[in-house]
Amino acid sequence: MIEILKLGDEKLNKILKRSQLDMTENASIVKEIVQDVKQNGDSALFAYTKKFDKIDLTSASLKVTEQEIDEAFETVDKKLIEVMQRSAENIRNYHKKLVPKTWTSVENGKMLGQLIQPISALGIYVPGGAAAYPSSVLMSAIPAQVAGVENIAIATPCNISSGKIANSTLAAAKIAGIKTIYKMGGAQAIAAFAFGTETVTKVDKIVGPGNIFVALAKREVFGYVGIDSIAGPSEVLVIADNTANASYVAADLLSQAEHDKLAACICITDSIELTKAINAEIEKQTAVLERKEIIESALKDFGAIVLVKDMKEAIELANTIAPEHLELCVENPESLLPFIKNAGAIFLGNYSPEPLGDYYAGPSHVLPTSGTARFFSPLGIDDFIKKSSLIKYSREALEAAHTDIEAFAHSEGLTAHENSIKIRFK
């Protein structure tokens, strides 16, 4: 059962303000871990892995061997391998359309342009431990490869009971062509990527989702390395009108709620009848789902059906929330698209559910959360490239502009700048 709210209700305000990054106690713990790994390298990395993941690591066992990858690949069900291969192809084809090209423009003795180059070394964090997320391997590594990144490494924690990385995760890495995989997780893995250790090679950028300790560690190391974004708990927002299928909407809300107890699951509708039907479906479907306890906790704390007067009000609220996933389960979803300002990924229509984006369609499922879709974008080609401006003037072109530049520099009191131009025309 999801609580039915109206604009201004206190629970809705709580959801809007929700962010796992506002936790000073965890932030101080993460800062200490990051500094320890920065100063003490492997010894600190191994100590925290032992403490948090109950795994004994050494410099010899930290990296997954090629034999381990091959053996894992052979154990995974062949049908799942084929599914992952098709998913990989979809991701690759989508991102190939987004690759920018170096360009130049020459006119009147002036050449301007932009040089596009991939970053040199990338670290991808893939959640692990209790669960396996091979989809995160594909969704992060393949766009980087399409962008031209040559040195890609993965960090993912081992399963506590087996002491090994999930076979499906290693199989996905093989499909993506990634050979450097470290058995490390948490804040210590982010620090190892950021600063390097005796065994872990330093990277230039870190991407990928993770828990609160991973998110806070990425914030801590930003500046030493680049990051994609600082991810919070997952979320879905469904805008539905009276044509929506209540069983579909309920299923999509539940698919998000099973992620964790902090997941937000919101439906905005102008139909009172639909709110009742959705709640009936939620009770029916939840009863047979495996992660029932997690789902019920997420729905209780961060689930809501918000009743609004019309679609205009629904869109205004959606833009305020700026959700990670936005589903438009309405009669004509394309008609709403021009009014959507803030969303990580937009799913149009009753047959474009959020899991389609999680696993298969092509766009990366690494998306901005906790309202950061107001200023962050989905993980994509732009996260793996650098852009350099190109400027070339002939003497004649500079001569035509030199008095303007000198006047500008003079106005700011930067006489050396002024002289740098003026000396060429004395």
Phi, psi of 89 (to 5 degrees): -65, -40
CB neighbourhood size of 366 (10 A): 24
Catalytic residue among 220, 235, 324, 418: 324
Distance in angstroms (rounded) separating the CA atoms of residues 347 and 327: 5
Contacts with 313 (C-beta within 8 Å, 6 or more apart), sequence order: 7, 270
Taking alpha carbons only, the member of 248, 244, 256 closest to residue 311 is: 244
DSSP assignments along 232-269, one per residue: -S-EEEEEE-TTS-HHHHHHHHHHHHTS-TT-EEEEEE
Closest C-alpha among 147, 287, 263, 128 to residue 204: 147
Q: What is the DSSP string of 360-425?
A: TSSS-S----TTGGGT---S-GGGGEEEEEEEEE-HHHHHHHHHHHHHHHHHTT-HHHHHHHHGGG
Distances (CA, A) of 297 to 89, 156, 209, 259: 36, 27, 22, 11
Catalytic site residue from 281, 325, 327, 406: 325
Helix (H) / strand (E) element for 92: namely: helix 78-96
Sequence-ordered list of residues with C-beta below 8 angstroms from that of 189, at least 6 positions apart, any chain: 45, 125, 155, 157, 182, 214
Residue 325 is a catalytic residue: yes
Least Cα distance to 322 among 255, 236, 216 occurs for 236
Q: Is the Cα dihedral 137, 139, 143, 144 positive or negative?
A: negative
Active site (annotated) includes residue 324: yes
Q: Which residues are catalytically annotated?
A: 324-325
